[in-house]
């Protein structure tokens, strides 16, 4: 049995041994992905959690520490592509700390180890932890001779040719440097260069990169150094390996020397004397993070005196004189540059925060949804406060963003201390930013509640709604027309040439014909070409007959999603029957209205939306033109030949004893019956269990056949 998640001190020695074995394998697997192939499977936070679990188990059961324990080595073995380089001094990794208490413990541990009293002050350096690739660069007699990755800490990969292409790394050092110098630091890709590269990839229709670190890793491990050169990698020096002579006696002094030798060093490095100052600097760096043009994932603290570093020495795998204080992996501060409004297919005005790009949970985040105007004010969907009073989100605000898993990034809160004196509350537009029509918050007739969504009332005159409608129409679960994506829809929509313009769905199907007589040929337009135009026409023509549920879904009726569309298709069978019923249901009463509401899974809100849709003459006109081009197929009925209930409408009422309501329904449907929620003239059979009430009465009144559960069972098994 897995013991994962059990408290360490409740485990038996056998359980601990088994879990350590599993952890060793799992961590080795993730190390290989992280250091070798550059595409991690889990977040850094999850990885750290595995490592901490391993450490905790080993601390409790030191006798169980394995030969292949993750605590004994750092990272993955080098790959075969690059020749190995044995580091003159191993490249070790730092212990991580995650909380203020951890940092206090670290500092207290240093004092204790050295036998110092708190008033015998020890200086520490504090600097951002760059989220890049560690590198060791060796100079002999002032000339760059080798550059190697960290690899497993002992042996790295020889990437000298690629490192030479990085402009920030000198090939030669000034006269008078020690005979052997090994500079260690981090190779990284600037955020601005990363974003520019992704824009270029996007323009070329290629897959974009996930984050700067993986991209830097991939760029560095190119066999062709020219590719590396094109990626504009950068470097920060912060440590050293073998040194023939020591040019300084403090950490801070060493890094300043590297700067004098021509290496870039991080300007945020400080020398500090107390835990309070260290933690204050951590907070400052955290707030400055979005403005930095490079990713960082924490702050590194080191004992400044090299003599004290020497005395403190190492634990099995990491120095006692340093620690990396990590930022929470799924959260970061950043700045709201702008609040923009997007108008959707149903006219909903959705505010989006444009953020200063920041890497959160391993992914670069540039936008966060703000949902609606109440959310901006800090009010939830039920009117409850989700952020303190006055913590409304404003342009220019510094905010805490959270990204967990694949969820769209959220803004958790505003950092009030960073709010500019002239920051103004966001004024949510009362008109549609696209078409200028009034935008309103509807009031639910039943509950009297005001909708949290503000909608454009422009309908068809609203370009945003019209293009979103088209995009919905061609989307995967609707007409699924390949070659007609979002970009192409915008192109055809905006085009003023009558042989190219597509403003409503039927025009998609007349495009080829209109093109035949036109001099403005699509194939001559940038981004199309003869082959792709041919493919586009083929894809369009392939959809001239289409499943009924796809057709209904594609109409884009509010509240009618895929599931509802399938229910409707099954219930009505043909488009004609469906459309006729919608028109007959217009008065919101009568048989057609009752039948519609009787369909299991269709509520009144949905029913109303459909009827409203068919009341709009413009919709009827567009569908009319569409039906000239497209034939919706009859809804597929399950193969039920011979079943006595196929095609019958059945209502279950009262309590069933032989099966659940869901089971009864599924069984009936599998035999080709339609299951309805209420009784009407169209009902064929009412199956009544004990306690059946008004539905049974109504069935008798209408002369509908009724039976009990046993009779029903006999019927369907007969």
Q: List the binding residues for Zn(2+).
A: 432, 435, 456, 462
Minimum distance from residue 620 beta carbon to Zn ion (Å): 22
Name the active-site residue from 25, 37, 129, 695. Answer: 129
Rounded CA separation 82/220 (Å): 11
Is residue 599 part of the contact set for Zn ion (CB under 5 A)? Answer: no
CB of 442 to Zn ion, least distance (A): 15
Two tokens at 463? 């370009």
Structure tokens at 440: 């309103």
Residue in the structure block whose two tokens are 């897959």: 207
Helix, strand or coil for residue 331? strand
- Give the nearer residue to Zn ion in terms of CB position, either 157 or 468: 468
Given a contact cutoff of 8 angstroms between Cβ atoms, the answer to whether 549 and 566 are in contact is yes
- Comparing CB distances to Zn ion, the nearer of 278 and 462 is 462
Q: Which stretch binds Zn ion (CB under 5 A): 91-99, 257-265, 430-438, 596-604?
A: 430-438
Q: Which stretch binds Zn ion (CB under 5 A): 23-31, 91-99, 456-464, 496-504?
A: 456-464
How many H helices and E strands in the chain? 24, 24
Q: Choose the binding region for Zn ion from 286-294, 437-445, 509-517, 681-689 (rule: CB under 5 A).
A: 437-445
Q: How many CA atoms lie within 13 A of 74 on its CB side?
A: 17
Q: Which is nearer to Zn ion, 218 or 429 (CB)?
A: 429
Stretch that binds Zn ion, among 258-266, 454-462, 527-535, 579-587 (CB under 5 A): 454-462
How wide is the angle at C-alpha 192 spanned by C-alphas 402 and 376, nearest 5°?
35
Pairing assessment for the beta strands 155-157 and 84-86 based on DSSP bridges: antiparallel
User: Which positions make up the binding site?
Assistant: 44-48, 93-94, 127, 150, 186, 302, 326, 432, 435, 456, 462
3-state secondary structure of 86: strand
Write down the least CB distance from residue 441 to Zn ion, Å: 15
Between 173 and 435, name the residue whose CB sits nearer to Zn ion: 435
Q: How far is the CB of 464 from Zn ion (least distance, A)?
A: 5
| Interaction between residue 189 and Zn ion (CB under 5 A) | no
Q: Are 363 and 381 within 8 A, CB to CB?
A: no
Distance CA 248, CA 497 (A): 73
Of 599, 603, 342, 377, nearest in space to 456 by CA:
342
State how far the Cα of 472 lies from the Cα of 463, in Å rounded to an integer. 14
Which of the 8 DSSP states describes residue 267? Answer: T
Stretch that binds Zn ion, among 104-112, 183-191, 424-432, 504-512 (CB under 5 A): 424-432
Radius of gyration of the chain (CA): 34
Interactions with Zn ion, residue window 535-554 (CB under 5 A): none
The 124-130 sheet, strands edge to edge: 95-97, 322-326, 296-303, 124-130, 270-272
Q: Is residue 582 within the footprint of Zn ion (CB under 5 A)? A: no
129 is annotated as an active-site residue = yes
Identity of the residue, 439 or 511, whose beta carbon is nearer to Zn ion in the bound complex: 439
Q: How many residues are listed for the chain in this entry?
A: 718
Interaction of residue 362 with Zn ion, rule CB under 5 A = no
Q: What are the angstrom distances between the C-alpha of 458 and each of 466, 480, 495, 504? A: 10, 27, 21, 16
Q: How many residues bind Zn ion (CB under 5 A)?
A: 7
* Residue reference for tokens 């961590």: 27
Q: Does 453 bind Zn ion (CB under 5 A)?
A: no
Name the token pair of 483. Answer: 């070659």
Report the residue from 456, 522, 565, 567 that binds Zn ion according to the rule CB under 5 A: 456
CB of 351 to Zn ion, least distance (A): 15
19 or 468: whose CB is closer to Zn ion?
Answer: 468
User: Tokens 């400080």, residue?
Assistant: 270
Query: Can you tell me which residue has the tokens 């597509």?
Result: 502
Q: Exposed/middle/buried for 463, CB within 10 Å: 0-12, 13-18, 19+? A: middle
Residue 349 in contact with Zn ion, rule: CB under 5 A: no
Cα gap 393→397, rounded to integer Å: 7
The CB-of-593 to Zn ion minimum distance in angstroms stands at: 31
C-alpha span between 635 and 548 (Å, rounded): 6
Nearest to 543, CA basis, from 626, 646, 601: 626
Helices (H), 378-494: 463-473, 486-494
Q: How far apart are CA 85 and CA 157, in angstroms?
A: 6
Rounded distance, CA 704 to CA 73, Å? 78
Q: In this structure, are residues 627 and 543 in contact, taking their beta carbons and an 8 Å threshold? A: no
Residue 131 exposed, middle or buried by CB count within 10 Å (0-12, 13-18, 19+): buried
Q: Which lies closer to Zn ion via its Cβ, residue 158 or residue 437? A: 437
CB-wise, 366 or 437, nearer to Zn ion? Answer: 437
Residue 285 or 453: which CB sits closer to Zn ion? 453
The single residue among 432, 599, 656, 704 that binds Zn ion, judged by CB under 5 A, is: 432
Contacts of 120 (CB under 8 A, 6+ apart): none
Q: How far is the CB of 495 from Zn ion (least distance, A)?
A: 20
Tell me which stretch binds Zn ion (CB under 5 A): 187-195, 273-281, 455-463, 505-513: 455-463
Q: Shortest CA distance to 494 belongs to which of 519, 517, 525, 516?
A: 525
For the bound state, the minimum distance from the C-beta of residue 343 to Zn ion, rounded and expressed in Å, comes to 5
Q: Pick one of 16, 20, 163, 435: the residue that binds Zn ion (CB under 5 A).
A: 435
Tell me whether residue 266 is exposed, middle or buried, using C-beta atoms within 10 angstroms of its C-beta: 0 to 12, 13 to 18, 19 or more.
buried
CB of 465 to Zn ion, least distance (A): 6
Q: How far is the CB of 342 from Zn ion (least distance, A)?
A: 11
Q: How far apart are CB 22 and Zn ion at their closest, in Å?
A: 56
User: Which of these segments, 28-36, 176-184, 238-246, 431-439, binds Zn ion (CB under 5 A)?
Assistant: 431-439
Q: Which is nearer to Zn ion, 332 or 434 (CB)?
A: 434
Q: Is 434 in the site for Zn ion (CB under 5 A)?
A: yes
458 binds Zn ion (CB under 5 A): yes
Annotated binding-site members for NAD(+): 44-48, 93-94, 127, 150, 186, 302, 326
Query: What letters, b where the CB count within 10 A reaches 16 and e where it falls short, cover 694-706?
Result: ebbebbeeeebeb
Q: Is 368 helix (H, G, I), strand (E, B) or coil?
A: strand
The residue with tokens 């990839």 is: 201
Q: Cβ 345 to Zn ion, closest distance in Å?
A: 11
Distances (CA, A) of 511 to 163, 176, 460, 503, 518: 54, 75, 21, 11, 10
Q: Which is nearer to Zn ion, 358 or 435 (CB)?
A: 435
Q: Which stretch binds Zn ion (CB under 5 A): 96-104, 160-168, 450-458, 652-660?
A: 450-458
Q: Which is nearer to Zn ion, 24 or 434 (CB)?
A: 434
Q: Contact positions toward Zn ion, by CB under 5 A? A: 432, 434-435, 437, 456, 458, 462
| Residues designated as active site | 129
């Amino acid at each position: 049995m897995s013991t994962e998640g059990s408290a360490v001190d409740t485990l038996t020695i056998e359980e601990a041994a088994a879990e350590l074995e599993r952890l060793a394998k799992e961590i080795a697997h993730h190390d290989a992905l992280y250091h070798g192939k550059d595409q991690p499977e889990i977040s850094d936070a999850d990885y750290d959690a595995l490592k901490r679990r391993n450490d905790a188990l080993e601390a409790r059961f030191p006798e169980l520490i394995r030969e292949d324990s993750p605590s004994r080595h750092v990272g993955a073995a080098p790959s075969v592509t690059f020749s190995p380089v044995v580091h003159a001094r191993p490249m070790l990794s730092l212990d991580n700390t995650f909380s203020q208490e951890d940092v206090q413990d670290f500092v207290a541990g240093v004092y204790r180890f050295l036998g110092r009293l708190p008033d015998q002050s020890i200086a520490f350096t504090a600097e951002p932890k760059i989220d890049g690739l560690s590198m060791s660069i060796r100079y002999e007699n002032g000339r760059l001779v080798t550059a190697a990755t960290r690899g497993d800490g002992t042996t790295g990969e020889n990437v000298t040719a690629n490192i030479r292409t990085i402009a920030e790394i000198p090939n030669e050092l000034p006269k008078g440097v020690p005979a052997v110098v090994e500079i260690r630091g981090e190779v990284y890709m600037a955020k601005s260069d990363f974003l520019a590269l992704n824009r270029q990839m996007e323009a070329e229709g290629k897959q974009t990169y996930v984050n700067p670190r993986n991209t830097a890793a991939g760029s560095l491990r190119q066999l062709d150094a020219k590719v590396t050169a094109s990626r504009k990698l950068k470097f920060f020096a912060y440590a050293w390996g073998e040194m023939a002579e020591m040019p300084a006696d403090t950490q801070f002094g060493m890094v300043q020397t590297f700067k004098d030798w021509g290496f870039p060093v991080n300007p945020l490095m400080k020398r500090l004397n107390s835990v309070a100052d260290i933690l204050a600097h951590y907070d400052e760096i955290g707030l400055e993070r979005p403005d930095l043009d490079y990713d960082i994932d924490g702050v590194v603290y080191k004992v400044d005196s090299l003599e004290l570093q020497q005395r403190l020495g190492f634990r099995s795998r990491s120095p006692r004189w340093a620690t990396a204080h990590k930022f929470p992996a799924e959260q970061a501060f950043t700045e709201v540059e702008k609040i923009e409004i997007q108008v959707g297919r149903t006219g909903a005005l959705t505010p989006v925060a444009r953020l200063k790009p920041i890497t959160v949970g391993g992914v670069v985040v540039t936008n966060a949804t703000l949902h609606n105007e109440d959310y901006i004010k800090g009010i939830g969907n039920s009117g409850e406060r989700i952020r303190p009073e006055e913590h409304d989100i404003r342009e220019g605000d510094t905010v805490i963003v959270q990204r967990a898993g694949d969820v769209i990034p959220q803004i958790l809160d505003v950092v009030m201390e960073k709010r500019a004196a002239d920051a103004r509350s966001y004024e949510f537009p009362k008109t549609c930013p696209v078409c200028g029509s009034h935008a309103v918050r509807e009031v639910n007739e039943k509950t009297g509640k005001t909708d949290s969504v503000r909608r454009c009332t422009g309908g068809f005159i609203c370009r945003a709604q019209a293009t979103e409608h088209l995009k919905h129409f061609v989307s995967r679960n609707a007409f699924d027309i390949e070659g007609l994506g979002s970009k192409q829809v915008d192109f055809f929509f905006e085009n003023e040439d009558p042989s190219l313009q597509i403003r409503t769905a039927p025009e998609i199907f007349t495009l080829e014909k209109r093109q035949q007589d036109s001099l403005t040929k699509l194939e001559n337009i940038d981004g199309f070409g003869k082959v792709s135009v041919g493919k586009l026409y083929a894809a369009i023509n392939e959809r001239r007959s289409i499943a009924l549920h796809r057709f209904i879904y594609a109409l884009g009726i509010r509240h009618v999603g895929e599931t509802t569309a399938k229910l409707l298709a099954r219930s009505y069978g043909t488009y004609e029957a469906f459309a006729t019923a919608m028109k007959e249901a217009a008065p919101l009463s009568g048989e057609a209205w009752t039948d519609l509401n009787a369909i299991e899974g269709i509520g009144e809100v949905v029913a109303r939306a459909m009827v409203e849709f068919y009341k709009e003459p413009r919709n009827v006109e567009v569908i009319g033109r569409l039906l000239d081009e497209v034939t919706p197929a009859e809804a597929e009925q399950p193969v039920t030949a011979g079943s006595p209930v196929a095609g019958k409408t059945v209502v279950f009422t009262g309590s069933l004893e032989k099966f659940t309501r869901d089971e009864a329904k599924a069984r009936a449907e599998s035999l080709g019956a339609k299951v309805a929620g209420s009784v009407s003239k169209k009902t064929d059979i009412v199956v009544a269990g004990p306690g059946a009430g008004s539905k049974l009465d109504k069935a008798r009144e209408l002369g509908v056949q009724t039976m009990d559960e046993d009779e029903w069972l006999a019927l369907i098994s007969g």
